[in-house]
Amino acid sequence: MRFAIVESGGKQYRAVEGRTIEVDRLPVETGNKFDLDRVLLMADGDEIVVGTPTLSDINVKVTVMDHIRGPKIDRFKYRPKKRIRVRGGHRQQYTLLMVDFIGKPGEKRKVEEPKVEKQAEAEVVVEAEKKPKAAKQAKAEKEAAKPSAKKTPAKKPAAAKSPSKKTDAKKK
């Protein structure tokens, strides 16, 4: 699996071929392709190339998938006894980028998709689908086997009250 550490907007991101990354909003239209300029590191299996500070001979080609907004962050300042209530919020805007290619210019490679992860996900989905059905069937069988009469819980005997400490002190 080939990946690179790239810088965009003063932040560093791990870009993996065939996956998406969320970067701060970029002034690029959806569907456009461009290269990320600042590549700090590239790794391909055991081979690692580190820039000083950047790698000029490595390209990271990306496609703008969408412009999205992050989760809402609420802010509330409160000072008791002073009638100060300040409410505010913020929603960060992001650009979703699909990493198409990482490598030297002119290099021809296919994007390797991890096959193991997809198979494992498919097995988990299949198992998850089977378990609820089996659980529902077992529950239905148990309910059919039970008699329909409802049982009432037995009442616990009340605890005997002991004299309080105040009464003991008065008696002495």
> Would you write out the chain's pLDDT as a tens digit for each of its 172 residues?
899 999 999 999 999 999 999 999 999 999 999 999 899 999 998 999 999 999 999 999 999 999 999 999 999 999 999 999 999 999 999 999 999 999 988 887 665 555 545 555 555 555 555 555 566 666 666 666 666 555 566 666 666 666 555 555 555 5
Q: Which among 65, 79, 74, 2 is positioned nearest to 34, based on CA atoms?
A: 65
Cα separation, 2 vs 102, in Å, equals: 7
48 - beta bridge partners?
A: 43
SS3 93: strand
How many Cβ atoms sit within 10 Å of the Cβ of residue 8? 19
Looking at residue 133, the DSSP 8-state letter turns out to be H
Are residues 113 and 1 in contact, defined by beta-carbon separation less than 8 angstroms? no
Strand order across the 20-24 sheet: 20-24, 84-103, 59-79, 33-36
Question: What tokens appear for 5 in the block?
Answer: 């550490």
Q: CA angle, corner 105, sides to 99 and 106, nearest 5?
A: 105
110: β partners: none
